[in-house]
Every structure is written in structure tokens, then in C-alpha cells.
Amino acid sequence: MKRRTFLTAMAGMAVAPLVKAQALPAGPVKLIVGFSPGGGTDTMARVIAQHLGALWGIPVVVENKAGASGVIAATYVAQQPNDGTTLLMTNFSNHAIAPVLMPKIGYDVKRDFSPIMLVGITPTVLIGNQDQKANTVAELVELCRKNPGQISFGSAGVGAAQHMALEMFKLRAKIDALHVPYRGSGAMATDLLGGQINYSFETMTSATPLVSSGKVKALAQTGAQRAKSFPDIPTMAEQGFPGFEAGTWYGIVGPGGMNPALVQRMNEDFNRVVAMPEVAEKLQGFGAEDGGGSVDKFSAFIDAELKKWAEVVKEANVQPV
């Protein structure tokens, strides 16, 4: 009897720390978004937060801290307690580009964040207004070579997804083209339709209504495979640029040093949420694919993105404004 009591007590001691480590925060969880309400990142975050709150039985509240391409929000989260009460809907801009383009930002991606899960990868779409002569990537390359520095490509700003895709294109195709940065995709799209600029590697979220309505022509997409929402648009790889992947992406991270057991518990629950039909449909509508998976998968993905874009920034000599 005494032996059984001792073994039971020892088992309780072995299990208790694990249970405690995996316990979710008791209070509300804030999911920080580095962009204004209504955008793609914000919309995805709110859908996920709604279902996650129901799963956890605690409020999961989206809080917007817009500015500096998500850097303000990332800096804020990096400084919060690592107890799981504050998470970040991170993205390509503040987690892969800012660290290599703006080395004096107030955080270190590897040190100051705990990767939890990749939400999805969204390719960019190479679009041009209907007056443009080039209808394929090969034709566009030829056009740029015949008119060096004169064919214009718009972006949502220096370091934005559109800009970095263009820099990769210039390097791979060995062409000279004119980069025209705007303060967001809205103004850029207006000028593209009006003929003030010629082309753009636009994000799929913003490109979809333009392509679907026939207002622009789509030459290529930059994913590894054709996106389900654009099955008829060939990839850059299919048109002579193997390995050309230049999309934007979204993921969930917390402050650095989170308890590994808590990170694992959150990873499992975020995976459950993104697999829910309503959430999966919403993500697919934004062109966000290949999300979910393990913490290690997301961590390795971040490492690869940092390395890839550091090389592009250095080789193209991209300078912050």
C-alpha cells in the first residue's frame, strides 16, 4: 500500500510540471496586427482570433498597431512578457525584409520572437495594364532589354513585397527597370490602371479583383506551384525562372523565450483553427496556401527567408528610404 502511494505521488510530481507548462493564459490574449483594420493581414487575424477564442474559451482580441510596414507592432510584441498573453500576426515585411533592410530596428528576429506557426504563403502576381504589349515573361524581358530603365514597376513602398519581387526579377533576368514606390497598393493600382506605370508584382490579395474583372493582364505568379485561385496563370518557374519564389507570407509568433510546451500547445491549436472549413476557405480566398505545420517548419522557413532576401538586398544594393 505504501509502495502504491509512493508511486502515485511520484507520478503526480512528474506530470504536474508538464500540465502547468501547457496551461493556456488565464486572461485575454492579444493578437497584434501591424497594419490598419480592414486589410488582408487584419482580416485573416480576426477570423483566426474568433475561432481560437471559441476553442480556448477565453477572449482572443485583435489589436492594431499600424506603421512602418509592421515594424512598430513587432517591436511592441518583442518587449512584452513571454507568458502567451501577447502574440503577433507577423509577416514578410517586418520579419524577413526589415531585419536586412533596416538593421537598426529595435528587435532581433532570432532572439526576440518565439515562432509558433506559419499561417500561409501568398504569391505575388505579375500584372500590367491592358495597354502593355508584353503578354508573357519572355516578352517582358525583351521589352525591358530594348528599353533599359524605362519600363516602370509600381510597389507599395521600398522593401514591400512588390519591390522585392521586382529586384529579384531584375537580378535573375539581368534587366534594368524603373521602380516606382507608392504609399500603399491602392494608389499604385490607380496609376497602373491609368497608364502612369506599366507593371507590378502585386500581392494576390490586391491583384485578384483587378485580374478577375479583366482590368489588368496577368503574366505570371511567383509561387512554387500555381495557386488554386489562379490555376490558369503560369508561374515564373514555368516561364524560364526556376526557383523564383517571391510571395508574401503570414505567421504567428510570440515574444522570445516562451515555454516550449506552451508554444507546442498553441501550435497544435492554431493548426486546428486553420484546418476549420470556414477559416481554410477565407485563407484560400486570400491566396494563402501551405500554412500550418510544426514549430520547426516555421522556424526553418523564417531562416530561409532571411537568407534569401538578405542576398537580394545586398546584390541589388537596395537602400532604405
Q: Render pLDDT for 235-280 as a digit per residue (tens, 0 to 9).
A: 999 999 999 999 899 999 999 999 999 999 999 999 999 999 999 9
> Do residues 41 and 69 lie in contact, with contact meaning Cβ atoms separated by under 8 Å?
no
Domain-embedded: residue 168: yes
Backbone region of residue 109 per phi and psi (left: phi > 0; alpha: psi in -120 to 50; beta: other values)? alpha
39 to 42, 56, 76, 77, 189: CA distances (angstroms) = 5, 25, 20, 20, 15
Domain-embedded: residue 321: no
User: For the chain, what is the domain count?
Assistant: 2
CATH of the domain at 205: 3.40.190.10
Q: Of 192, 212, 239, which residue sits at a domain end?
A: 239
Name the pLDDT band for 43 (thresholds 50, 70, 90).
Answer: confident
Predicted structure pTM score: 0.85
CATH of the domain at 281: 3.40.190.150
* Neighbour count for residue 99 (Cβ, 10 Å): 21
Same domain, 56 and 106: yes
Q: Of 239, 272, 288, which residue sits at a domain end?
A: 239
pLDDT of residue 113: 98
Grid cell listed for 257: 523565450
pLDDT of residue 22: 66
Domain-embedded: residue 155: yes
User: What's the mean pLDDT when you consider all of the chain?
Assistant: 90
- Compute the 3-state secondary structure of the chain and give helix, strand, coil in percent, each to the nearest 5: 50, 20, 35
The answer on pLDDT for 182 being more than 50 is: yes
Domain that includes residue 96, residue range: 6-122+247-316
Same domain, 150 and 219: yes
Name the pLDDT band for 76 (thresholds 50, 70, 90).
Answer: very high
